[in-house]
Structure 1
């Protein structure tokens, strides 16, 4: 059988991946991927809209498991990760395209200084790809060897004649500036785009995912592709998974290193040290600004989510918002208790950490709302590195498939369970595919909320 422009790629994990295509634009001017045997350049990871550097934790672990030294990698934490509605008009706790370009340029300088390298590889998720392209187009091309854009809406989330200053508008000022010319990439830099085969909620022809059902968006599933880049389709992965899934890791590593990774799985360490940052949501907008005066407590938990033994750690954040370090066993499940100003006491339950990390960031849950008023206990199941896809995934919370997760294109990364009985304070199990997180329920009247946070 002849395979020219269509290639079947093996799926990692348990998802039923479909045929994927590898296409290079006819006018490609990008540099080839690194030749086998050459040194892997330092890598800078760039998160997306509303996100933070902690989302790259599993990618960093996989890179380390393939011999990439941790000090040759960096993940930027944008101060204000959410975009403005109008890029030219200031909004509290939101950033412009220029804000992000400036912060990323400074991070590139720092990684080059730290490693002594002449050029670095940039890997971006979603909006992070905008700042990468902006840096490259506006003076930073000589500092960059590779640009990997994962789910970046390169031709917009929508493309209309209104909202010309919205950076997500494919016909707006910002994206027209990035996409002008016959080729949409910069010569001398190897460009790779990774996208979903129809399961990315921000690359849809219908506007239902941006609040305009039945209205054409003017974009298609192919929106993340760039003329002149190597464009790879990763099957049934969603908008976030095309950056953080094992399948995505394989393609990112192979493109930058010029060879297949030795392993996809994460190699555990004998001793694990954790630390991180406490951030908040001033005015209801998530930021990566440090929160001072927050208390972080850590406990080892049993299979039912209840505490096992004495506390492992307790500290209060200073002006830098940092907590830790704490040493744990790579087989322990953990409960992080975050007490922060003007927020519920948040009990975050996590799977074991197989390797050390300094990006175990904590952000308190949102305050209780009207829907929580009569609940004795409230629990959230959160998947930061992907969405819940029904019927694509096995998703169970408290033994049931969540009723607030929509079927079809994966859209939701969190689901909530409310218990109304005085006997509600047992445990609840969050199950996603093969990852299982047990959480203890806490009384809502004490302003406490439980979060079962998935790692994978």
Structure 2
């Protein structure tokens, strides 16, 4: 069934690490109210190249509605990026079978830790592929609800070439999932959430996937499934199908069977942060822990980004890559400095954290580009839980719309500002709708990059 918002007002060897990450993520996220025992435990599944930290605001909203932290987990796939050909081994990338095994182990761990017979799964993008794969191949009895947010259920493209791609609607993997009169597995309740034309991976023309002018044979309806409840959320982007407040409402309502009591995040008086330091291998992001990285936290002035008081926290990661826990002021913006081996020192500027979290994961900024060799400073504005949409959103970086953010269908999650040497040290304002972050421009000559990382 399809419901439109317009008419009614998204390998076996790696298993131990994936499950360990789940345990610590669950511990990080104490209930703000008595847990709702009738709501099944919920496991959140990130998308291609991503990590579990993207679910942080969703976890906060769940907690604010009384879902206990120890009844929620978010998986961190070891190698989150898909192979070019699912059947051909590719360094630092995972097959659909490897993703299935890691997710199955995570489901077993959540069932064990909660004593529940079944769990609910919520996935964004590629995460939905893994959810469907595990349910179809023996996991239906373990899963009560499956929410697929912006999942390319019929492909990012449906063509007769690249048939080994996990994202080809005519390829072996998706044809196997979609075969039969119904595209869902009996015994599990399915919900799909999609955009009304603003998802860059559900477009009829291939310019957003590097094939301009080529028909993809995919439409905005591509994420829907025969046999599921299919809901259109409006002009949200690919990631917002999972992480937007509108998506949260539908996720919660479908799993809990009632409207959420609140959409806003309820603040905590005491906020403790921790997370995982990860990195990239040959330019491919992984969720493997990085040892020997230093994490340092400062409170900063909201208007100048100058540091206030003494350092709040400093530690070096061990073999598990974990940092924290750091107790921070929930009313103060933060500067989190990551010094990671063989990477630029990265100064993350963040809005105040309203609640505690153990998924404040850190990955060093990408290396300087050749065009930046003469720059005095490089500052990046980053939106991990969505894309910048122009003219849909207000996006201002240092007082103007970024030139590297394209209008129309939202496709860009970062914008970059390159400053001359004479402007090193000054404050830079990053504004996205109602969220405003002030960063400072650090000298590129010292191998430093600043990142204004948006929460919403």
Give the TM-score normalised by the residue count of structure 1. 0.93
The aligned residue for residue 335 of structure 2 is 335
Aligned-residue offset at 1:271: 0.1
- Give the aligned CA root-mean-square deviation in angstroms: 1.3
Q: SS of the residue aligned with 2:73?
A: strand
The aligned residue for residue 178 of structure 2 is 179
Aligned-residue offset at 1:424: 3.0
- Alpha-carbon separation, structure 2, partners of 1:38 and 1:198: 37
How do residues 17-416 of structure 1 correspond to structure 2 at under 5 angstroms?
Answer: 19=6, 39-303=38-302, 304-416=304-416
Aligned-residue offset at 1:353: 0.5
- Alpha-carbon separation, structure 2, partners of 1:268 and 1:217: 44
The aligned residue for residue 14 of structure 1 is none
Indicate if the aligned counterparts of 2:3 and 2:230 stay in contact, CA closer than 8 A: no
- Alpha-carbon separation, structure 1, partners of 2:8 and 2:61: 24
Consecutive unaligned residues in structure 1, runs of 5 or more: 10-18, 23-36
Consecutive unaligned residues in structure 2, runs of 5 or more: 10-35
- Alpha-carbon separation, structure 2, partners of 1:342 and 1:47: 27
Structure 1 segments (4+ residues) deviating >2 Å: 4-7
- Alpha-carbon separation, structure 2, partners of 1:226 and 1:440: 46
- Alpha-carbon separation, structure 1, partners of 2:2 and 2:197: 19
Indicate if the aligned counterparts of 2:3 and 2:232 stay in contact, CA closer than 8 A: no
Aligned-residue offset at 1:5: 6.9
Q: SS of the residue aligned with 1:204?
A: coil
- Alpha-carbon separation, structure 2, partners of 1:20 and 1:415: 35
Say if 1:408 and 1:20 are closer, same or farther in 2 by CA, change over 3 A.
farther
Aligned-residue offset at 1:284: 0.5
Indicate if the aligned counterparts of 1:20 and 1:232 stay in contact, CA closer than 8 A: no
Aligned-residue offset at 1:188: 1.4
- Alpha-carbon separation, structure 2, partners of 1:381 and 1:208: 24
Q: Tell me the alpha carbon deviations over residues 69-100 of structure 1, each in whole angstroms, 9 at most, x when there is no partner.
A: 00000000000000000001111110000010
Q: Tell me the alpha carbon deviations over residues 123-145 of structure 1, each in whole angstroms, 9 at most, x when there is no partner.
A: 00000000000000101110000
Aligned-residue offset at 1:164: 1.2
- Alpha-carbon separation, structure 2, partners of 1:276 and 1:425: 28
Aligned-residue offset at 1:21: 7.2
The aligned residue for residue 33 of structure 2 is none
Give the TM-score normalised by the residue count of structure 2. 0.93
Aligned-residue offset at 1:369: 1.1
Aligned-residue offset at 1:239: 0.1
Indicate if the aligned counterparts of 2:77 and 2:287 stay in contact, CA closer than 8 A: yes
- Alpha-carbon separation, structure 1, partners of 2:385 and 2:7: 21
Indicate if the aligned counterparts of 1:193 and 1:230 stay in contact, CA closer than 8 A: yes
- Alpha-carbon separation, structure 2, partners of 1:344 and 1:263: 40
Q: Tell me the alpha carbon deviations over residues 311-362 of structure 1, each in whole angstroms, 9 at most, x when there is no partner.
A: 0001000000000101112111100000011100000000010000000000
The aligned residue for residue 34 of structure 1 is none
- Alpha-carbon separation, structure 2, partners of 1:215 and 1:20: 33
Q: SS of the residue aligned with 1:278?
A: strand
Q: Tell me the alpha carbon deviations over residues 272-306 of structure 1, each in whole angstroms, 9 at most, x when there is no partner.
A: 01000000011010000000000000000001211
Q: Tell me the alpha carbon deviations over residues 97-131 of structure 1, each in whole angstroms, 9 at most, x when there is no partner.
A: 00100000000000000000000000000000000
- Alpha-carbon separation, structure 1, partners of 2:97 and 2:437: 40
Indicate if the aligned counterparts of 2:119 and 2:143 stay in contact, CA closer than 8 A: yes
Q: SS of the residue aligned with 1:312?
A: strand
Indicate if the aligned counterparts of 2:44 and 2:74 stay in contact, CA closer than 8 A: yes
